[in-house]
Amino acid sequence: MDWRPVPKPVSKPKEKPRYKERKPKKRKKLETFKGRTIPPAKVRGSISKKEYEKVIELYGHNCAYCFSSYIEMHHIRFRSQQGRGTHRNLIPLCKEHHGLAHRNRVFADQLRRERIESYGEWYWADKFDLWKQNLIPNTTDKAFESFMQDQEVKARAASSSNL
């Protein structure tokens, strides 16, 4: 028998866990412009299936540089810099080139210059960006595409005159 000068500790019965009342999430106020609600940047930067298919139609199912069949979509102007998920701002790259585009500033700038020469300064924008800058009268797809096609013609004319 062990002699203990202090009594052995007795565990208290465990209480049932108390649940914290969840506070409702604070919703960010949506941006409005001229009385219209503009979708949040997260939504505008995401790649829709329609835009993904347009990029695949333009470049095929391969990396734009090494023609590897495993591809990842790259935002040429990063989402953190307000780049949108439009086909003009996307390029399919393999894992190696995608990592290079994020690590190597020279390579990323080269991609941006090529895009500007092909599509103009607003290649990264969506219809809401152009509307907020008063470049198009409303947020219709027709007005957006018309503006972007005009920009493409001007950009290609400028790049051919520079040669």
pLDDT in tens, 96-150: 999 999 999 999 999 999 999 999 999 999 999 999 999 999 999 999 999 999 9
Query: Cα-flanking dihedrals φ and ψ of residue 75, to 5°?
Result: -80, 115
Query: What's the pLDDT tens digit per position in 58-108?
Result: 999 999 999 999 999 999 999 999 999 999 999 999 999 999 999 999 999
The per-residue b/e assignment along 9-42, b for 16 or more CB within 10 angstroms, e otherwise, is eeeeeeeeeeeeeeeeeeeeeeeeeeeeebeeee
